[in-house]
Amino acid sequence: MARVNSIARSWSSSQSQSWKEPLNCRATAEPHMLWKINSGSSFFWWDSWTGLGPLAVFLQKGTMPGNTLVNEFIHENKRDTEKLLNTVPAPLHNLIERIHINDPSKPDTCIWTINSDGKFTCASPRELTRKRKDTNDTLNNLWYKRLPFKIAFLNWRVMRKKLPLDDIVSKFGQNIVSRCNCCPNPQSETLDHLFVHGDIAKNIWQYFANSLGIKISNINLHLSWRDICVIVDNYRNQISSCLMYWDRPITQQFKINTDGSSLIQMKKAGAGGIRRNKEGRMILAYSEYLEFCSNNRAEIEAALIGLKYSSSLGLNNIIFEMDSKLMVV
């Protein structure tokens, strides 16, 4: 009885597990092997030499093709047509007739079809068999080259839940009383609490949101990169507007519109103003940073600065217009 060809062998539960994996790899690699016919030393039924894979699959079920070699159908560099007709299913005849016979003095050679030069390399089957995990854009974007490595690494640990926080440590059987260090009333130390919901985290998020003039809500550390992009894309500066009328000053008068502003959280204040003539043309405009002060103080400073500039230019007969109820009587 002919031995089962190695290509047709399958794994059975009585065989070792370490044998199972090579057999799995064989199924992946075999379709990428093509035998180039020289002397016909390839297996007729089992080696892929026609480009269709093993010809054994075209036989009727239950047929046991032996380890016949291709050269049993070739005599003196010519095909044994009669034998082929009697052995091979009819649809394959034309294909086999077209197979080129190369150098009969050499054994058949195997072409590794993945590489353009047909030569086998260890790297190419590895690419075929390795199981790649789905790429995660959020994690990939953490490794931004201008970000210090320690920051990128911290971000990675946050995203992958690799920080030794109380909730994670307790999963390893450590019974600990969890208390955060970020809130006046300590709560459980969890990843979300430390980086999103805790007092310090909320202040930090708020600080940067204010700097950008946006309002943020529903921060989630576990969003996909696509969702993050959608959220960021939807952030808009909070701008409100209303219709205003500006009355021109009468002849010989100038009008100065002033405004002062104080941002408590950013500890910043500033003042500015604009002076126009009776035609509405701008004569003077100014804006200045102030030492941090109240809104009312900033409004007063805005008017004083306007007065100072006007006086230095010798401009009198001024009307002030501002939105401070404290200043406007």
Contacts with Zn ion by CB under 5 A lie at 180, 182-183, 198
Least distance in Å: CB of 167 to Zn ion? 13
Looking at beta carbons only, is 187 or 261 nearer to Zn ion? 187
Nearest to Zn ion of 122, 177 (CB atom): 177
84 versus 182: smaller Cβ distance to Zn ion:
182
Instruction: State the CB neighbour count (10 A cutoff) for residue 56.
Output: 16
> Rounded to whole angstroms, how far apart are CA atoms 318 and 175?
74
- Token representation of residue 10: 């399958």
Residue 285 has what DSSP assignment?
A: E
Residue 189 CB, shortest distance to Zn ion, in Å, is 7
- On the 0-12 / 13-18 / 19+ scale of CB atoms within 10 A, 298 is buried
Question: Smallest distance from the beta carbon of 188 to Zn ion, in angstroms?
Answer: 9
- In the complex, the smallest distance separating the C-beta of residue 221 from Zn ion, rounded to whole angstroms, is 15
**What minimum distance in Å lies between the beta carbon of 180 and Zn ion?**
3
* Comparison of 179 and 215: residue with beta carbon closer to Zn ion: 179
The alpha-helical segments, DSSP class H, found in 66-172 are 81-87, 93-98, 123-129, 137-140, 149-159, 166-169
Among 161, 24, 45, 153, which residue's Cα sits nearest to residue 92?
Answer: 45
- Pick between residue 8 and residue 182 the one whose CB is nearest to Zn ion: 182
302 φ, ψ (degrees, to nearest 5): -60, -40
3-state SS assignment for residue 272:
strand
Measured distance CA(42)–CA(67) in Å, rounded = 9
Of 114 and 182, nearer to Zn ion (C-beta) is: 182
Q: What angle do CA 323, 324, 325 make, to 5 degrees?
A: 110
**CB 197 to Zn ion: min, Å:** 8
Report the residue count for the chain.
329
Nearer to Zn ion, 30 or 192 (CB): 192
How far CA 303 is from CA of 244, 275, 282, 297, 306, in Å, comes to 20, 11, 17, 10, 5
Min. distance of Cβ 144 from Zn ion in angstroms?
28
Picking from 266, 264, 260, 308, the residue whose alpha carbon sits closest to that of residue 287 is 260
Both tokens of 250, joined, read: 């009468």
Q: In angstroms, what is the minimal distance from the CB of 193 to Zn ion?
A: 6
Please give, one letter per residue, the 3-state secondary structure of 230-271: HHHHHCCCCCCCCCCCCCCCCCCCEEEEEEEEEECCCCEEEE
Q: Which residues, listed in sequence order, are joined to residue 269 by a DSSP beta bridge?
A: 262, 290
C-beta of 69 vs 183, nearer to Zn ion: 183
Q: Which is nearer to Zn ion, 184 or 314 (CB)?
A: 184
Nearest approach in angstroms of CB 195 to Zn ion is 11
